[in-house]
Structure 1
């Protein structure tokens, strides 16, 4: 029940893990920050990204053991999905029988979202693994009680929440399962209160850095459509997979809250303050996989199960799986941007970023070494910030006017504007004193070469 899903997850996760040596900007941030010293990471977290602090320290330890580039960056996520698949297999076995468990565990690593985040150097797959085994420990505590079991459950769920705060929504899903099962509501409430208390210092401090999620927009029709379709699929699987054997906690009672509540609550909260991003509640895939496994188990014959499973696996892996393992499978590619800048620029050219988000540079600073970053005051590591600090607008203007050619790297979409006036200064100088020589769109970046008239 555990080994076959884990092995499948490893094979699927390791397939194309390098993505042709591409990195997208969030991974580039992880890569650069994890290579800083522990004191420099602490210094950064005082200013930004404290919500990802535990993951940065974990990746710092990984790179200290093996500095294996993109593979080392993504390998913890691959292993985490394998651990998640093993746990889902055991959960399915416990709640609906051996074949349902096996099918659920095999379905988990084939889900499109799990395939994606199994190969990303961020914390989301690790959170899934912790929520999965926290769910297992919850069932252990509900079956046998005892302070040690509840303490183990609380410790694992707190670890998940410290890796990413929105894992606390999984705690709410667990509370719904406990309430529907009418078992041990008081010890669960005490344990949940302890988890929330342990998370509170991080949550309160991260609230002071809320400007970092200003890029998140209100949920659109596609977000709502995907949520509705997934919820309907899960509900249909729950009806099909209803077990005839009575258990203290039924599979739908556990899986449906995990699938629906975290995403639904985050969507509802986004009506007040946009915070919904599907990867923040990736662990809802645990519930979906359990429901799919139970539904397949109820099909009338083994041949039907095998046929449906084969078709589903083929659809999941081809062509979606192929595209996901290319550089084009992510919203941007910092290495492709660096290569385009190298091709379009000449030694000594000026360089500006609008907005001042140097994620493009973090994983490959050598590619920009021949350029003069005109606005930079202090590098990310030296300043204890994510993207470095910039000089005052007047100094930026003076430096730009002294440069005959400037390469401007802009976010085409998805990032908030610069409220300090520096972006406005850069744009005004370029419009008034320079002409466009060349421009190129590379994934999410717009790269434009400007020059004084006659210098293109």
Structure 2
């Protein structure tokens, strides 16, 4: 009774309660960070319209699982993400929020894995710092809000790296390699750049010795990698077939669109990771300060890595080796696209967290200042990313939906707009795809590889080669194209009269009325 009166009197709680709270806080510390990661990824996740690549994901996912396997074999990405999206849409629908939420979930899961990994290779404080930096990492947030496979790939590969860490610490426990095999195989079925993560893991094991011998020489490691290859065998014929049709992919624009690299490409990619900008508009001291700081912090982390398994060095290799390899290869064949390397960018906050944790012991204020600077860069990048233009592509399609009349024709100039248009189209009319002959007389229709695999089966229904061949009796036509010159539909037939135009960003829709010859009556 006295105890009760003591508490209600407003005095301090019993020491036992404070101790219980401390225990609770130590156990549940990841939850606020995961909440932050969730908010960062859910906020604004529906603000931008579905774009071409997302539209292709959604169109692919409409097929049955067996046909997804067939069509993704002709696409530039393996089938696992599309199969998962197919099941997800069947369960939760195809709203913008729903189709992107699968990436939100894997993005938040990746933050959890990042904290887990940081805790395994460093301290609880490093894990907290890594969690916060990962939760706000702009490139991770960006691709956790897209109906594509990059967030899923990052989840698999960070998980596989954790399994590798556990095996390195306990090489006799093969169950960790079993988990590693499953996650790596799943990632290979998600994106071909998984091979770069494999390269990083092998490079790390070449540097590390176990208790008696190099881990890379252990039979269990070779068996594990053989099992990954074995699990991937069903897809290898499809991969070989795709490689044999690279010319068709280039002709269709599915590959070959990546810009050549320059000396600025490497530091600019690091800016993309942390701020979603190439940084080229900054003063050169600021532009080079960030990559230089990253290099110095990473070098310090590796130099002072006193752990027997060199796990800090593992994270440095995981983060930077894929970027360096792709940068070097890109001088021959351009491949450097930041979203393809998003999985390796996830290692950057973990390296920074280890560096800040170590700096805090001897350089407390310098560590705090550096941490605040990097957080400011991330927050600045997120702030710019969240500022979406109100005029999105769906505004254009909704304009057509609202003003469409029965028997109108809708013609889209390019596959880049076509997939997005199909997603938002509510008219009940199948949009046509404009496929005029090329200047050399060759067909302008897509091939069977790349995006073309998604529409070629309906070629007779959707391909439209000439504006002059509009069916007799057609009185109104909607043209959707790029708003910048040259005009994709030029020349417009003389008997077409423009009724209205709506420009949204870099696209436009034009409505034309078609004057019929005097001897022809409209239906």
Counterpart position of 1:54: 80
8 Å Cα contact 2:393/2:504 also seen in 1:
no
Deviation at 1:126, TM superposition (A): 1.0
CA deviation vs aligned residue, 1:164-218 (integer Å, no higher than 9, x gap): 1111111101111111224311344554454345443453244356416335223
8 Å Cα contact 1:5/1:89 also seen in 2:
no
Q: What is the RMSD of the two structures over their aligned residues, measured on CA atoms? A: 3.8
Deviation at 1:133, TM superposition (A): 1.1
8 Å Cα contact 2:77/2:191 also seen in 1:
yes
Supply the distance in 1 between the matched residues of 2:472 and 2:300 (Cα, whole angstroms).
69
8 Å Cα contact 2:414/2:433 also seen in 1:
no
Counterpart position of 2:258: 217
1:335 to 374, 394, 400: 394
8 Å Cα contact 2:200/2:317 also seen in 1:
yes
* Higher normalized helix content (fraction of residues): 1
8 Å Cα contact 1:158/1:195 also seen in 2:
yes
Deviation at 1:135, TM superposition (A): 0.6
Counterpart position of 2:89: 63
Supply the distance in 2 between the matched residues of 1:42 and 1:228 (Cα, whole angstroms).
35
Change in CA separation of 1:165 and 1:197 when aligned onto 2, cut-off 3 Å: farther
Counterpart position of 2:324: 264
Supply the distance in 2 between the matched residues of 1:322 and 1:186 (Cα, whole angstroms).
48
1:158 to 185, 203, 226: 185
Supply the distance in 2 between the matched residues of 1:314 and 1:227 (Cα, whole angstroms).
18
Change in CA separation of 1:206 and 1:109 when aligned onto 2, cut-off 3 Å: farther
1:15 to 43, 54, 62: 43
1:398 to 447, 469, 481: 469
Change in CA separation of 1:342 and 1:393 when aligned onto 2, cut-off 3 Å: closer
Supply the distance in 2 between the matched residues of 1:313 and 1:446 (Cα, whole angstroms).
39
TM-score normalized by structure 1? 0.80
Structure index of larger Rg: 2
Supply the distance in 2 between the matched residues of 1:193 and 1:412 (Cα, whole angstroms).
52
8 Å Cα contact 1:5/1:82 also seen in 2:
no
Q: Which moved more, 1:217-226 or 1:150-159?
A: 217-226
Deviation at 1:343, TM superposition (A): 6.8
Secondary structure, in 3 states, of the residue corresponding to 1:19?
coil
Supply the distance in 2 between the matched residues of 1:189 and 1:235 (Cα, whole angstroms).
33
Unaligned runs of 5+ in 1: 414-422
Deviation at 1:72, TM superposition (A): 1.9
8 Å Cα contact 1:84/1:132 also seen in 2:
yes
Residues 198-277 of structure 1: matches in 2 within 5 Å? Answer: 198-199=231-232, 200-208=236-244, 210=246, 211=249, 213-214=254-255, 216-221=257-262, 223-227=265-269, 232-241=292-301, 246-277=306-337
Secondary structure, in 3 states, of the residue corresponding to 1:282?
helix
TM-score normalized by structure 2? 0.71
Deviation at 1:287, TM superposition (A): 1.9
Change in CA separation of 1:242 and 1:25 when aligned onto 2, cut-off 3 Å: same
Deviation at 1:85, TM superposition (A): 1.5
Does 1:92 find its partner at 2:118? yes
Change in CA separation of 1:433 and 1:176 when aligned onto 2, cut-off 3 Å: farther
Secondary structure, in 3 states, of the residue corresponding to 1:213?
coil
Unaligned runs of 5+ in 2: 1-28, 274-290, 436-444, 518-523
8 Å Cα contact 1:123/1:163 also seen in 2:
yes
Secondary structure, in 3 states, of the residue corresponding to 2:470?
helix
Does 1:113 find its partner at 2:139? yes
8 Å Cα contact 2:165/2:311 also seen in 1:
no
Deviation at 1:111, TM superposition (A): 1.3
Secondary structure, in 3 states, of the residue corresponding to 2:478?
strand
